[in-house]
């Protein structure tokens, strides 16, 4: 059966390649801004992932298993998206330094032939070490934080700021492999 990843993320594509040898990529055109945030981050990431998966399901004309995910970084009740510019990246990283924050991923797997939809979410606690302003500015110069939720990539240079994590590392990267493996088994994909 055809397996489709509903993501343009190179990180997600690389991670899925560790579980599944052959899969197609169809990028979702789902407008995430249409998903209302109603106080539950867990529900929000699952709803966004579901929107992406259903959008791609409508583009596939054959039986398939569709995989989608959405990952966000939160500090308290605040969602830290991708920075708007370098100043925003600086402020986001500054707010994280020396503190704990949570990274949430919503994952959806749809088996179109069996009409099964599985939705899950996962949170990982990440603690940053103390970081001085010069270190933050040097990191921003690399360009890495500018397209990352929370303004850092744990799998890249930003990993040097991570003092500790509690939970799934791959969740912070953007695709929790163990959770996804179990979901695929539930929808009968080996």
Say if pTM beats, i.e. exceeds, 0.85: yes
Contact 145, 76 (CB under 8 A): no
Q: What is the pLDDT of residue 36?
A: 87
Structure tokens at 167: 């939970």
Q: What is the pLDDT of residue 110?
A: 97
DSSP structural state of residue 93: H
Which residue in the list 29, 55, 70, 147 is annotated as catalytic?
A: 70
Answer yes or no: 29 catalytic: no
HSE on the CB side for 45, CA within 13 Å?
A: 24
Q: pLDDT averaged over consecutive 10-residue blocks of the chain (190 residues)? A: 93 95 96 88 95 96 96 93 95 97 97 95 97 97 94 95 98 96 86
Contact 116, 65 (CB under 8 A): no
Buried b (16+ CB within 10 A) or exposed e, 88-121: bbbebbebbeeeebbbbbbbbbbbbeeeebbbbb
């Amino acid at each position: 059966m055809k397996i489709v990843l509903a993501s343009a993320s190179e990180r997600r594509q690389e991670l899925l390649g560790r579980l599944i040898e052959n899969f197609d990529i169809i990028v979702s055109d789902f407008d995430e801004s249409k998903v209302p945030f109603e106080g539950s981050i867990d529900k929000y990431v699952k709803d966004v992932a579901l929107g992406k998966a259903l959008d791609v399901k409508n583009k596939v004309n054959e039986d398939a298993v569709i995989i989608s995910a959405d990952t966000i970084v939160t500090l308290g009740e605040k969602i830290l998206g991708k920075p708007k510019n370098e100043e925003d990246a600086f402020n986001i990283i500054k707010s994280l330094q020396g503190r704990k924050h949570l990274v949430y991923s919503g994952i959806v797997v749809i088996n179109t032939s069996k009409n099964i939809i599985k939705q899950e979410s996962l949170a990982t606690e990440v603690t940053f070490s103390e970081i001085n302003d010069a270190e933050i500015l040097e990191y921003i110069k690399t360009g890495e934080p500018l397209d990352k939720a929370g303004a850092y990539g744990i799998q890249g240079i930003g990993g040097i700021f991570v003092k500790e994590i509690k939970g799934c590392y791959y969740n912070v990267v953007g695709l929790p492999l163990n959770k996804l493996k179990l979901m695929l088994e539930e929808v009968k994909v080996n």
